[in-house]
Amino acid sequence: MKIFNLFLASSIFLTACKSQSHNNSIAVDQHTQSNAQAVSCKHLQLAIQVDFEQQQLRGCATWEIENKDADELHLDTDQLSIDSVLVDAAKVSFHKDTTVPHLGERLRIPIQKNSKQVAIYYKTGAHPRALQWLTAQQTLSKTKPFLYTQSESIYARSWIPCPDGPGIRFTYDATVQVPLGFMALMSAENPQSLAKDGQYQFHMPIAIPAYLMALAVGDIAFKAIDARTGVYAEPTMIAKAANEFSEVGKMVSQAEKLYGPYRWGRYDMLVLPPGFPIGGMENPKLTFCTPTIIAGDKSLVNLIAHELAHNWSGNLVTNATWNDFWLNEGFTVYFERRLTESLTDKSYADMLWELGYQDLEATLEDLKGKPEDTKLKLNLAGRDPDDGLNDIAYEKGALFLRAIELKVGRTAMDTFLNQYFNHFAFKTITTEQFLDYLNEHLLNQYPDVVKDLAIEAWVYGAGVPKNEPRADQDRFKQVNAVRTSFLETNAIDTKATQSWTTHEYLHFLRLMPKPLAVSKMQKLDDLFHFTQTGNAEIADLWFIMSVAANYMPTPYTTSNEAMRSFLSSVGRRKFIVPLYKELMAHPYSVPVAKEWYKAFRANYHPLAQESLDALIGK
């Protein structure tokens, strides 16, 4: 694929030659086998039944289509079993192509020029990658089984036959039949109480891409936070969750002040059981999130700032292909930090920027042999788009926007971003379209800074350019001083640590020598009780340090209760993959890693299982 030389192009723009502007035709998405350009799928009518006994979804997906000039409709499917297909109520014979790695099976349906409606009767396969079926035992309340979906990036096709590309939007209605006493929720207008007959109707009048299709079913309660926001969770978690998220209404209003109206109606959150493999998922109207952010002191609520920000960057303005993923995530991290800063102060946001920078450095180290994967604009042809799901898109992307902000000033940057969200609202966009827009609407007013910005290097170059901005370190300097003095004297002035937030503790621990001497680990544990902490971010880091140091009251046996219970309940990949990696790195901890993984594998989401099977073996 030809890489656009922006450096050259910017100077062309600056001499006002518009003819060099990018061709804005629909980007080629290498991760869908649908033919959305030829046949547009405008609206989905979904009618499904949720069967917990068979662990299966069964039903019918009816697509309202607009056929431009094709004799077949192509949809993405992944292990779906197709029973029958009707085109305008007449049965047709369909064909399923053989499986393409990562992409699944293309479904071919014969259509006529004037065909209007295609109904597909189907059931899900044995191991749909989007679905996690939990037994009652694997939930917090332990009363009923639970089901939830995770469709990003290309997993919607494992539970709905659909055109599964981020550049293809559709509206939907759904009827979902669940067992009596269960609640069902979707990325749509949601119920707030149980349906007596177990049947739920959903309406989503705003067009969204397939990766934002979402469903959760279980023993779920609702609690309002204010008129616009609320929280869903298992009954045993609902009060704690509502308390943790009590400020989210203010957060939505603050986000609007920064970057324009919230356009999705209600903003609700669903706290999932602990097996949820990621931190959060920005499903429209209903953010899905991990319970590991419920720390009891609101210290990890900035994850909600991230998911909320996606309602502008991602859900409103969407990356056209997964190669442009940084447009979703880099913008969202930037927005999240700006939002957090406006709700706290600069010194607090600076800590988040610095921790993000450390994450980026670690990712660059991990990807040392794969420089191509450290570019913002990726080439994921033939690969799983999840290969691009790392801190290049998130942190390098955000840092690039921060670099622009520092050059043009905050006021100009914010005016530009407001314009950007408005101009591309409910549209999809490629990296090249963004760069064109950036030139036309911001950078051409600042010809002097364009050269310094090194945009070409940021977007199409490997690693991070030398002009990378670095946050002020005011609060971390004090943390560094405490760490240095502890390493030298084995003593800590606890007055200095009294006001620390989670982020100061993380920085304190991250920069400790590895392995740390057992006596020092013991001293820290005596002072701060890290082994018993209820804060998942700190616990995970501490357990990794514990394994590296071979420190634990009873090392690496199943009686190591704190770490065992963490790994048995938490399913967030960000936590469990590095911890298992550390356990597998030392002969003394390999046996227990294998034993625990065997015992807990069923508690993890299929996506987490994939990562861990590769590391530990099934």
- Cα distance between residue 304 and residue 245, in whole Å: 9
Minimum CB separation from Zn ion for residue 155, in Å? 16
Task: Please identify, using beta-carbon distances, which residue of 391 and 436 lies nearer to Zn ion.
Answer: 391
Query: In the complex, what is the shortest distance from the CB of residue 321 to Zn ion, in angstroms, rounded to a whole number?
Result: 17
**Which x/- pattern over 493-532 shows residues binding Zn ion (rule: CB under 5 A)?**
----------------------------------------
* Pick 141 or 332: Cβ nearer Zn ion: 332
Using the contact rule CB under 5 A, the part of the chain among 29-37, 326-334, 371-379, 578-586 near Zn ion is 326-334
Nearest to 13 by CA among 433, 455, 439: 439
CA-based nearest residue to 549, from 537, 563, 570: 563
DSSP 8-state symbol, 4: P
Q: Residue 329 or residue 405: which is nearer to Zn ion going by CB?
A: 329
Site size toward Zn ion, by CB under 5 A: 2
CA 585 to chain centre: 28
Stretch in the footprint of Zn ion (CB under 5 A) among 189-197, 294-302, 329-337, 552-560: 329-337
The label of the residue with tokens 């979906």 reads 149
- With CB under 5 A as the contact rule, which of the stretches 85-93, 98-106, 158-166, 328-336 interacts with Zn ion? 328-336
Cβ of residue 67: shortest distance to Zn ion, in angstroms? 35
Shortest spacing between CB 136 and Zn ion, in angstroms: 30
CA gap 219, 427 in Å, rounded: 36
At how many degrees (to 10) do helices 346-366 and 502-510 cross? 40
Q: Is 526:498 a contact under the CB 8 Å cutoff?
A: no
Residues 6+ apart with CB under 8 A from 99: 105
Query: Which of 210, 299, 314, 303 has its CA nearest to residue 259?
Result: 314
Please state, in angstroms and rounded to a whole number, the distance separating the CA atoms of residues 504 and 536.
15
Q: Would you say 225 or 278 has its CB closer to Zn ion?
A: 278
Answer for the pair 220, 234: CB distance below 8 angstroms, yes or no.
yes
Q: Which run of H or of E encompasses 239?
A: helix 238-244
Q: How far is the CB of 252 from Zn ion (least distance, A)?
A: 17
Options 325-333, 337-345, 364-372, 492-500: segment touching Zn ion (CB under 5 A)? 325-333
ω into 515 cis (within 30 of 0): yes
Stretch that binds Zn ion, among 32-40, 331-339, 500-508, 569-577 (CB under 5 A): 331-339
CB 27 within 8 A of CB 430: yes
Q: Which is nearer to Zn ion, 34 or 332 (CB)?
A: 332
Provide CB contacts within 8 A for 269, sequence distance 6+.
229, 230, 231, 232, 241, 245, 248, 286, 287, 288, 289, 304, 307
**Residue among 234 and 329 whose Cβ is closer to Zn ion:** 329
DSSP 460: H
* Cβ closest to Zn ion, residue 174 vs residue 210: 210
The stretch near Zn ion (CB under 5 A) out of 68-76, 322-330, 413-421, 490-498 is 322-330
Active site residues: 307, 394
Which residues, 9 to 38, sit near Zn ion by CB under 5 A?
none
- Our CB check for Zn ion shows the closer of 67 and 332 to be 332
Is residue 311 within 8 Å of residue 269, measured between CB atoms?
no
Return the closest-CA partner of residue 574 out of 351, 304, 280. 280
Letter for the amino acid at 136? A
CB of 431 to Zn ion, least distance (A): 17
User: Angle at Cα 618 formed by Cα 370 and Cα 104, nearest 5°?
Assistant: 65
Of 118-126, 209-217, 321-329, 554-562, the window that binds Zn ion (rule: CB under 5 A) is 321-329
In whole angstroms, how close is the CB of 306 to Zn ion at the nearest point? 6
**Footprint of Zn ion on 49-68 (CB under 5 A):** none
- Nearer to Zn ion among residue 268 and residue 329 (C-beta): 329
Write out the two tokens for 25.
């035709």
Q: Which part of the chain contacts Zn ion (CB under 5 A), choosing from 183-191, 323-331, 467-475, 595-603? A: 323-331
Helix-strand-coil percent breakdown of the chain, rounded to 5? Answer: 45, 20, 40
Question: How far is Cα 244 from Cα 100, in angstroms, rounded to an integer?
Answer: 44
Q: Write the interaction track for Zn ion spanning residues 125-154; mark x where CB under 5 A is met and - where it is not.
A: ------------------------------
How far is it, in rounded angstroms, from Cα 92 to Cα 73?
12
Tokens representing 198? 């177990």
Are residues 225 and 246 in contact, defined by beta-carbon separation less than 8 angstroms?
Answer: yes
What three-state secondary structure class fits 416? Answer: helix
Q: Which is nearer to Zn ion, 77 or 332 (CB)?
A: 332
Closest contact distance (angstroms) between CB of 356 and Zn ion is: 13
Count other C-beta atoms under 10 Å from residue 66's C-beta.
10
Least Å distance, CB 313 to Zn ion, is: 9
Closest CB to Zn ion among 222 and 325?
A: 325
CB of 332 to Zn ion, least distance (A): 5
Please write down the long-range contacts of 221-224, taking CB distance under 8 Å and 24 or more positions apart. Answer: 221/183, 222/192, 222/193, 224/192
Q: How far is the CB of 574 from Zn ion (least distance, A)?
A: 12
**3-class secondary-structure state, position 8:** helix
Smallest distance, Zn ion to C-beta of residue 294, A: 19
Q: Copy the structure tokens of residue 154.
A: 């290309």
Strand pairing class (131-134; 146-149): antiparallel
Nearer to Zn ion, 119 or 320 (CB): 320
Between residue 383 and residue 412, which ones bind Zn ion under the rule CB under 5 A?
A: none
DSSP code string of 55-76 = TEEEEEEEEEEEESS-SEEEEE
The C-alpha atoms of residue 122 and residue 432 are separated, in whole angstroms, by 39
Interface residues toward Zn ion, by CB under 5 A: 329, 332
